[in-house]
Amino acid sequence: MPDKTGSERLAVRKTYKLFIGGAFPRSESGRSYVVTDAKDRFVANASRASRKDARDAVSAARKAFPGWSGRTAYNRGQILYRVAEMLEGRRDQFVAELRQTGLSKSQAAAEADAAVDRWVWYAGWADKITAVAGSANPVSGPFFNFSTPEPTGVVAVVAPDSPLLGLVSVVAPVIVSGNTAVVVASEPAPLPAITLAEVLATSDLPGGVVNVLTGHRAELAPWLADHMDVNAVDLTGAAPGDVPDLEERAAGNLKRVLRPDGAAWTAEPGTARLTAFLETKTVWHPVGV
Amino acid sequence: MASENIFEYAPAPESRSVVDIRGSYGLFVDGEFTDGHGEPFKTINPADETVLADVACADEADVDRAVKAARRAFDEVWGPMPGRERAKYLYRIARIVQERSRELAVLESIDNGKPIRESRDVDLPLVAAHFFYYAGWADKLRHAGFGDDPKPLGVAGQVIPWNFPLLMLAWKIAPALACGNTVVLKPAETTPLTALLFADICRQAELPPGVVNIVTGAGETGRALVAHDGIDKVAFTGSTEVGRQIARVVAGTRKKLTLELGGKAANIVFDDAALDQAVEGIVNGIFFNQGHVCCAGSRLLVQESVAGELLERLKARMATLRIGDPLDKNTDVGAINSAAQLAKIRELSDAGEREGAARWSPPCELPAQGFWFAPTVFTDVAQSHRIAREEIFGPVLSVLTFRTPEEAVTKANNTPYGLSAGIWTEKGSQILWTAQRLRAGVVWANTFNKFDPASPFGGYKESGFGREGGRHGLEGYLSA
């Protein structure tokens, strides 16, 4: 936020903190790092999350998983749509934050609009993906057999540097199906992620469903890739050189890994990001009298 | 056993004459049987420890040759071939498997130790059905929900286990070929023979050379295959530990990976279950295929109020199991596949006793030669015991109890595995409530250990990822 608004009044600045379990704590480590704008001017001190913050975020996500995945799909869709409403309401704030990252006024406006629309698009999938990805299976015997997609669990997301559209494009598909997320925000442009967290905190999304860490990606991502209570990692925002190491760490408990694919955020997303974090459960029952 | 036992039968051995086991076997590369450059190894009959054949071992250069043959076949023949033509090859294979199913079943029982009743009635029908099922997908892939024009990945490197040698081959090769990939497959070193007989079936079907390549060998051969730069896809079925190693090797490459790994399935019996049916399901869940089943129901969770009665009936049923000659058509439980596996089962069972669980097996005479382990049940098992946490992969059942449905679900999910689970209750709503909460890829309700090519199979958590079977089984062999 600009220091001066043009009037005599001195602006009240926002302290950018982490978002863990529905609360906004500072990093337990007391560390922060300087976020600058496109012209290298000071904008804010963002929290630099520690390993303990990452672990707290994972345990908050795990705690939230049974409740969130146990909601009806309709209810999750309603809550995600509510998030889109709140995003729309904060549109000007996002535009201002995006402009600090170097976008022009029209670019920032277009990105904010696209982010809201993307969120609406994913919200609608809540009660449809099961019908598209599931099946009734005609087995050769007297059995009723059906397959349904279910959320994988706790997903660690290394968000891309597209600070808002990229961010919502990786977070929404993870949580809409019932997963909970620990998101490592863009390192150079973390502020929209914290503002998004404020949106999530006021949208009836249960605490812990999305947890946002800001800080050094190269430090945080390996801890999450190693963590034995994380079920999947989305490496979209990881530096290409770090991907092999992160994937190797993820093998420790056989996490599902989504590799970076370099797709443009403006393109129609498809269902790949949804299905990457779904498990197929098949249930058999005999047919008889 | 007592002479008044109504379950006494005269021996009814299946004839071995239908199978012609050669003295030695080569690798199957580019449509030809060739020598391997590793040290040949022997495959034995686990029921009597006789040597069946010398089998070639593929070294790195042999694997490279196989991958290059598969690449050539992919680029020149199989990749460009219309799906409807690929389909017809797969239908041919399915038909030849049916025609030669007796030969394949007998050979499977000889090399693996599993009862002929199971190889004949379960493995072989499923093998043929799997090829038949995926044949039909080959020319319908754009309707499968993976894009308008899904493409094959290229060359698949596939490594399979010894518990269902030919069935696991079918699970790997059928969808790979249907999607337009070519394959290099490594069977397990203790059970290579049916895969090599399958190579002959590929020749009878006039499958173009290089589309299917079979490289035999042990861990080194498998490592060379999954690490080879020329493959685009790795599919593995086996232990979670080896799966982890493979995931590390594949990290940072372009290779697509699917893993079907270990399990420690809970088989939950509620107090209203039909107990006799549940007993049949429990027996089928843990003693089918000597318990060499990744999805075996190895943890019995029984509601406390019926535990005593259920165990009494279970023990009575176990006493009627017939253990012995795998080729006898009356045999229920065959031989343990290898000395190494027998040692592992013994070690874990001994640990069960040491940790305080109560061990019981029915009185039964085991053959003097070969690898044998009596069906065993442990009661007074705690969740912390190794026999409740580790995959034994043998005919050993651990029994735990619970009081409430919530406790059953918590205990069932208290494992890093998540492959399968069982539910026994007469109450429909309780089945669905429980099935929703179990973190497992396959849930059998009032049945167990059922398989079908149309039904997706695969795990949650450390039981691996990806699905085999059904429409879902195509995904691992197509590029999105």
Nearest-angstrom CA–CA distance, A110 and A118: 12
Closest C-alpha among A149, A155, A151, A126 to residue A61: A155
A87 exposure class (CB count in 10 Å sphere: 0-12, 13-18, 19+): buried
Q: Touching check for B248 and chain A: CB below 8 Å?
A: yes
pTM, whole model, 2 decimals? 0.96
Task: Yes or no: say if A241 and A231 are a contact pair by the CB < 8 Å rule.
Answer: no
Task: Yes or no: say if B201 and B93 are a contact pair by the CB < 8 Å rule.
Answer: yes
Q: Give me the residues of chain A with pLDDT under 70, please.
A: 1-7
pLDDT number for residue A4: 52
Nearest-angstrom CA–CA distance, B478 and B244: 23
Domain boundaries along the sequence of chain A = 44-286
* Chain B positions in Cβ-Cβ contact with residue A141 (cut-off 8 Å): 450, 452
pLDDT number for residue A263: 84
Distances B252 to A232, A236, A259, B458, B466 between C-alpha atoms, Å: 16, 13, 9, 24, 18
Number of Cβ within a 10 Å radius of residue B18: 13
Q: Between chains, do B455 and A147 touch, taking CB under 8 Å as contact? A: yes
Q: Which two tokens stand for residue B44?
A: 């034995």
Nearest-angstrom CA–CA distance, B30 and A88: 61
Question: pLDDT at residue B414 above 60?
Answer: yes
* A&B contacts, CB < 8 Å: 107
**What are A102-152's pLDDT values in tens digits?**
999 999 999 999 999 999 999 999 999 999 999 999 999 999 999 999 999
Of B243, B442, B447, the CB nearest to A282: B442
* Chain B positions in Cβ-Cβ contact with residue A285 (cut-off 8 Å): 431, 445-447
pLDDT number for residue B81: 98
**Over pLDDT 90: what percentage of chain B?**
97
Question: pLDDT at residue B1 above 60?
Answer: no
**What are B61-110's pLDDT values in tens digits?**
999 999 999 999 999 999 999 999 999 999 999 999 999 999 999 999 99
Q: How far is B126 from chain A (nearest CA, A)?
A: 10
The residue in chain A having the minimum alpha-carbon distance to the alpha carbon of residue B438 is A281
Crossing angle for the helix pair B60-73 and B219-227, nearest 10 degrees? 50
Structure confidence at residue B328 as a pLDDT band (50, 70, 90): very high
**Over pLDDT 70: what percentage of chain B?**
99
Domain boundaries along the sequence of chain B = 24-261+460-479, 266-445
Q: Touching check for B133 and chain A: CB below 8 Å?
A: no
| ipTM at complex level | 0.96
Question: pLDDT at residue B413 above 90?
Answer: yes
Question: pLDDT at residue B233 above 50?
Answer: yes
**What are B184-216's pLDDT values in tens digits?**
999 999 999 999 999 999 999 999 999 999 999
Q: Which two tokens stand for residue B73?
A: 């076949």
Correct CATH for A44-286 of 3.20.20.70, 3.40.50.1010, 3.40.190.10, 3.40.605.10: 3.40.605.10
Range B381-390 average pLDDT: 98
Closest C-alpha among A277, A19, A281 to residue A155: A277
Structure confidence at residue B35 as a pLDDT band (50, 70, 90): very high
Query: Domain B266-445: which topology?
Result: Aldehyde Dehydrogenase; Chain A, domain 2 (3.40.309)
Number of Cβ within a 10 Å radius of residue A4: 9
Q: How far is A98 from chain B (nearest CA, A)?
A: 32
Q: Between chains, do B435 and A247 touch, taking CB under 8 Å as contact? A: no
Q: Give CATH superfamily name and number for B24-261+460-479.
A: Aldehyde Dehydrogenase; Chain A, domain 1 (3.40.605.10)
The residue in chain A having the minimum alpha-carbon distance to the alpha carbon of residue B435 is A283
| Mean model confidence pLDDT for chain B | 97
